[in-house]
Amino acid sequence: MSSLGELRNLAVRRRKGKARAKEKYPDNKAAYLFLLPWLLGLFGLTIGPMAASLYLSFTEYNLLQPPQWIGLDNFTGMFGDERFWNSFRVTVVYVLGGVPILLALALGLAMVLDKGMRALSFYRSVFYLPSLMGGSVAIAILWRQVFGKEGLINGVLGWFGVDGPGWIGHPDFALGTLIVLNVWTFGSPMVIFLAGLRQIPNMFYEAASIDGAGPIRKFTSVTLPLLTPIIFFNIVLQIIFAFQAFTQAYVVSGGTGGPADSTMFFTLLLYKEAFNELNMGYASAMAWFLVLVVAAFTAFNFWLSKYWVFYDDKD
């Protein structure tokens, strides 16, 4: 009897506990109702298409006929495609050449703006404008005019008696013009750097001054270590953005990726395979390859960050 009574008492306590928990944490139906648009977007516009493209990457599909399962043929054909590897090489050069210069320029201008100059909000807005327009078709068309044979750059060089080439029409310079265009869109990381600089306590600079540190020593011993989380964030973000670059190459090259495939970005080749050749299965395989490459770069940066990124909670 005693054991039966104990079981009854335990059941009563559990029911009371559940009742108190329900009073403390009310029904979440309202929360799920408000989350419903986001959940529909997540599964309908993100996860669903990703799953479909993963399936299509193992098929032969031309939009006109049902997809046919071919296994790994798209991937094996992709790895043996010389044009595929050329586009990957062009994209990697674009990423590794443009991102460091962009971040260095953004950090330099952020430090200048952090000096407390007048009309700071105006300058910050002006420098941010290229980031808003850098990926637009209009700016890419403008870039064609600036770096064309009769463009602004050659006009300035003509003042000094230099006959410049058609920069966007020369295989040796076309990719460089796109890197310059990417560097020109430094506004977004600059604003993030500026916010990070504003969070560094002034007492560290005062202590460094007392120790006799000059501007360079303050930068290397105070600014850079305390800014490493922001630098890491910008590196990861800009690498992802650079791998996804498409509009600039498409407009500047007229959709050809020329001259001589020198601006054939990976995304541009993917677009041509999908919508010009109607080779959706092959394009889906390329897309998943790009996802894995970006994930590998991101994972490598996270692994490397433990050796150079310093947080306040670390000794």
8-state DSSP, 60: E
Helix residue spans in the chain (DSSP H): 2-24, 29-41, 48-56, 73-79, 82-113, 120-133, 137-146, 152-159, 174-184, 187-198, 202-210, 215-218, 224-243, 247-252, 266-271, 280-305
pLDDT tens string, the chain, 315 residues long: the values are 455 566 566 666 666 666 565 555 556 778 888 889 999 999 999 999 999 999 999 999 998 899 999 999 999 999 999 999 999 999 999 999 999 999 999 999 899 888 766 767 777 777 777 777 666 677 777 777 788 777 888 888 888 887 888 888 888 899 999 999 889 888 889 989 998 998 888 898 889 898 888 889 999 999 999 999 999 999 999 999 999 999 888 888 888 888 889 999 999 999 999 999 999 999 999 999 999 999 999 999 999 999 999 886 544
Nearest to 149 by CA among 165, 163, 173, 160: 165
pLDDT of amino acid 64 = 87
pLDDT at position 30 is: 80
Helices (H), 244-279: 247-252, 266-271
Kindly report the number of other CB atoms within 10 A of residue 252's CB atom: 23
* pLDDT on residue 157: 83
Tokens describing residue 65: 């006929």
158 Cα distance to chain centroid:
37
Give the span between the Cα atoms of 148 and 144, in whole angstroms: 6
Q: Which domains does the chain have, with CATH numbers?
A: 2-56 (no CATH), 73-305 (1.10.3720.10)
Kindly give, in sequence order, each residue whose CB lies less than 8 Å from that of residue 94, ignoring residues fewer than 6 positions away.
175, 178, 179, 182, 242, 245, 265
DSSP 8-state class, residue 212: T
What is the C-alpha to C-alpha distance for residues 290 and 53, in angstroms, rounded to an integer? 13
Determine the residue type at 150. E
* Dist CA 23 CA 180 (whole Å): 60
DSSP type of residue 69: E
Cβ 259 vs Cβ 241: under 8 Å = no
Which residues have C-beta within 8 Å of that of residue 256, sequence separation ≥ 6? none
145 close to 152: Cβ distance less than 8 angstroms? yes
> What is the predicted pLDDT for the residue at 16?
60
Phi-psi region of 94 (alpha: psi -120 to 50; beta: other; left: phi over 0): alpha
74, 7, 5: which is closest to 277 by C-alpha? 74
How far is 263 from 250, CA to CA, in rounded Å?
A: 9
